[in-house]
Structure 1
Amino acid sequence: MKIKSGIGFDAHRFAAGRKLIIGGVEIEHELGLDGHSDADVLIHAIVDAVAGPALGRDIGNLFPDTDKAYKDIDSKILLKKAVDEIRLAGYEISNVDAQIIAQKPKMAPHIPAMRKTLADVMGLEFDDITIKATTTEKMGFTGREEGIAALASALVFRRG
């Protein structure tokens, strides 16, 4: 069995008039994130982490922001399409481990719902998705509450 690892990173600035969606979960906050899609930084990082090793591509190659079909799209749809492509290529996802970097809002209360949502979308077990959250102690763009970032790592393996 061939096993590959992947990493992903994404960051978006805050924007007024948008919902804040992280890990497929809407979080109560006065600002959302700016982006072509719903700007779900966690899902975008996960797509890169799983698609990189399995498909040799990233989210920008799979779902370009120049394509109007992806304007304001729910990132769970993008994740499901990426997972389907990964499986068509003969790979399965073993697990995803992710980190959300945000000063505010607090992410910990939402992590169980994010894990369940992501596991359901990806067809994985709840325990195959781990998510942590941290602040940057008020340093950098996340610390100044200008936006949110996310990191993800994943293991994929070739079936058969």
Structure 2
Amino acid sequence: MNKDTSPMGQTLPAFMVGYSLDHSHRVVVGIRATSADAACAVARAAFDAGTLWDDTPDMPLLYDDYEELDGQVLDFDATSVAMWPPADVSVPAARLHAAAHRLLTFARLADTRLPLAASIESWHPDALVPMTVTAQQARELRALLGTLDAG
């Protein structure tokens, strides 16, 4: 049986199903200042200038996340639609973020397979550096690169 059809072979109606949870966006940066008020003034100025998230040595980004507010009940809603609309721009961004984490994991794996940094320091910049990965790892890398290109 096709997942888009009922046991009787009829096409099932489409629904957009969602839920909402209230969140608080919390950002914490490191600031050196003469007082708490002065530190808050520096942070406010950086926020207004759009530089609060630049993560610099003088103002390191220490925390940036969304926290669910307590006491919420998870409630789903559904809207009948003729067909699903195109995905919102938030979807490719979420996929890209997930792919970036997988790419970082692969890059760390690749780094463990490379010769030690000190041993290649004196090599010519164009010298080939040997590295071995399994066929499965090569397939995963190519699939991952495809998801990054699609984002």
TM-score (norm: length of structure 2) = 0.19
Structure whose alpha-carbon radius of gyration is higher? 2
TM-score (norm: length of structure 1) = 0.18
Higher relative contact order (CA 8 A, sep 6+): 1
